Amino acid sequence: MTETPSGGDLSQLRRLNSLMVIRELRSAPTLTLTELSRRTGLSRASTEDVVRELLENGWLAEVPAASGMVGRPARRFRFRADAGRVLGVDIGGHKILALVADLEGTVLHSARVAVAPAMRRMERLAALDGAVAEALAGAGLTTADLWATGVATTGLVDGAGRVMLSEALPEWTGVDVGAHLRRLVGGPALVENDSKLAALAESWCGAARYAKDVVVILAGLRTGAGLIIDGKLHRGFGNAAGEIGALPASGWIRAQEHLRAWPPQDGPAPGRAGAGRGADPHADKAADKAADQEAAAEAVFEAARAGDRKAAAVVRRYVRDVAVGAAALVLTLDPELVVVGGGFSRSADLIAEPLRRELDRWCIRTPEVRISEFGDEGVALGALRLALDYVDRELRERRELGDPEHFSRRV
Amino acid sequence: MTETPSGGDLSQLRRLNSLMVIRELRSAPTLTLTELSRRTGLSRASTEDVVRELLENGWLAEVPAASGMVGRPARRFRFRADAGRVLGVDIGGHKILALVADLEGTVLHSARVAVAPAMRRMERLAALDGAVAEALAGAGLTTADLWATGVATTGLVDGAGRVMLSEALPEWTGVDVGAHLRRLVGGPALVENDSKLAALAESWCGAARYAKDVVVILAGLRTGAGLIIDGKLHRGFGNAAGEIGALPASGWIRAQEHLRAWPPQDGPAPGRAGAGRGADPHADKAADKAADQEAAAEAVFEAARAGDRKAAAVVRRYVRDVAVGAAALVLTLDPELVVVGGGFSRSADLIAEPLRRELDRWCIRTPEVRISEFGDEGVALGALRLALDYVDRELRERRELGDPEHFSRRV
Instruction: Give me the residue from B225, B236, B364 closest to A243, CB to CB.
Output: B364
Q: How confident is the model over A122-161, as pLDDT tens digits?
A: 999 999 999 999 999 999 999 989 999 999 999 999 988 9
Model pLDDT, residue B285? 55
pLDDT at B58 over 70: yes
Taken in order A358, A240, B379, B196, is the CA torsion positive or negative?
negative
Task: Considering chain B, tell me which residue range(s) the CATH 3.30.420.40 domain(s) occupy.
Answer: 83-199+378-410, 209-373
Q: Smallest Cβ distance to A213: which of B236, B243, B365?
A: B236
ipTM higher than the 0.85 cut: yes
Q: Is the pLDDT of residue A13 over 80?
A: no
Q: Which residue has the higher pLDDT, A268 or A47?
A: A47
> Which chain A residues are Cβ-neighbours of B234 within 8 angstroms?
229, 333
Is the torsion defined by CA of B220, B226, B228, B232 positive or negative? negative
Q: Which of B239, B247, B333 sits opposite A331 (nearest CB)?
A: B247
Q: Which residues, 6+ apart, have CB-to-CB distance to A109 below 8 Å?
A: A99, A100, A135, A136, A138, A139
Tell me the mean pLDDT in the region A352-364: 96
Taking contacts as CB-CB distances below 8 angstroms, the residues of chain A near B327 are 247
Distance in angstroms (rounded) separating the CA atoms of residues A264 and A281: 27
Cβ(B311)–Cβ(B304) below 8 Å: yes
Pure H helices in B206-346: 252-260, 281-305, 309-333
Which chain B residues are Cβ-neighbours of A328 within 8 angstroms?
Answer: 244, 247, 249-250, 328, 332
pLDDT of residue B73: 82
Domain with CATH 1.10.10.10 in chain A: 10-79
B113 has a chain A CB within 8 A of its CB: no
CATH T-level assignment (fold) for domain A209-373: Nucleotidyltransferase; domain 5 (3.30.420)
Domain B83-199+378-410 has CATH 2.10.109.10: no
Give residue-wise pLDDT tens across range B15-26.
788 888 988 998
Contacts of B242 in chain A (CB under 8 A): 331-332, 334
Q: What is the pLDDT of residue A284?
A: 52
CA angle B278-B280-B285, nearest 5°? 85
Q: Are B365 and A331 inside 8 Å of each other by CB? A: no
Report how far residue A165's alpha carbon sits from residue A158's, in angstroms, rounded to the nearest whole number.
9
CB spacing of B234 vs A229 below 8 angstroms: yes
pLDDT of A350 higher than 50:
yes
* Partner A contacted by B213 (CB < 8 A): yes
User: Which architecture, in CATH terms, is A10-79?
Assistant: Orthogonal Bundle (1.10)
Return the number of CB contacts < 8 Å for A and B: 123
pLDDT on residue B3? 45
**Could you tell me if residue A326 is left (phi over 0), alpha (psi between -120 and 50 degrees) or otherwise beta?**
alpha
* B128-160 confidence digits (pLDDT tens): 999 999 999 999 999 989 999 999 999 999 988
User: Where does the pLDDT of residue B38 fall: very low under 50, low under 70, confident under 90, or very high at 90 and above?
Assistant: very high
B283 pLDDT more than 90: no
Which among A234, A240, A333 has the least Cβ separation from residue B364?
A240
**Cβ contact B328–A247 (<8 Å):** yes
- Among the residue ranges A10-14, A91-95, B278-282, the one predicted with the least confidence is B278-282
- Residue contact A332–B244, C-beta within 8 A: yes
CA distance A389 to A135: 21
The CA-to-CA distance between both ends of chain B, in Å, stands at 26
Distance CA B233, CA B198 (A): 10
In the 3-class helix/strand/coil scheme, how is chain A assigned residue by residue?
CCCCCCCCCHHHHHHHHHHHHHHHHHCCCCEEHHHHHHHHCCCHHHHHHHHHHHHHCCCEEEECCCCCCCCCCCCEEEECHHHCEEEEEEECCCEEEEEEEECCCCEEEEEEEECCCCCCHHHHHHHHHHHHHHHHHHCCCCHHHEEEEEEEECCEECCCCEEEECCCCHHHCCCEHHHHHHHHHCCCEEEEEHHHHHHHHHHHHCCCCCCCCEEEEEECCCEEEEEEECCEECCCCCCCCCCHHHCHHHCHHHHHHHHHCCCCCCCCCCCCCCCCCCCCHHHHHHHHHHHHHHHHHHHHHHHHHCCCHHHHHHHHHHHHHHHHHHHHHHHHHCCCEEEEECHHHHHHHHHHHHHHHHHHHHCCCCCEEEECCCHHHHHHHHHHHHHHHHHHHHHHHCCCCCCHHHHHHHC
* pLDDT tens-digit series, residues A270-299: 443 333 344 445 545 545 555 567 778 889
Q: Give A 235-274 residues with CB within 8 A of chain B.
A: 235-244, 246-247, 249-251
Residue-wise pLDDT tens digits, B227-259: 999 999 999 999 999 999 999 999 999 999 998
Mutate to test the interface with B, among A239, A321, A332, A366 (most CBs of B within 10 A): A332
Among the partner-chain residues A156, A237, A333, the one whose CB lies closest to the CB of B236 is A333
Whether A324 sits inside 8 A of B364 (CB atoms) is no
Of A230, A244, A334, which is closest to B328 when you measure between CB atoms? A244
What pLDDT sits at residue A264? 80
Record: contact B240-A367, CB cut-off 8 A: no
Q: Min CA distance, A244 vs chain B (Å)?
A: 5
pLDDT digits (tens, 9 = 90+) for A201-258: 999 999 999 999 999 999 998 899 999 999 999 999 999 999 999 999 999 999 999 9
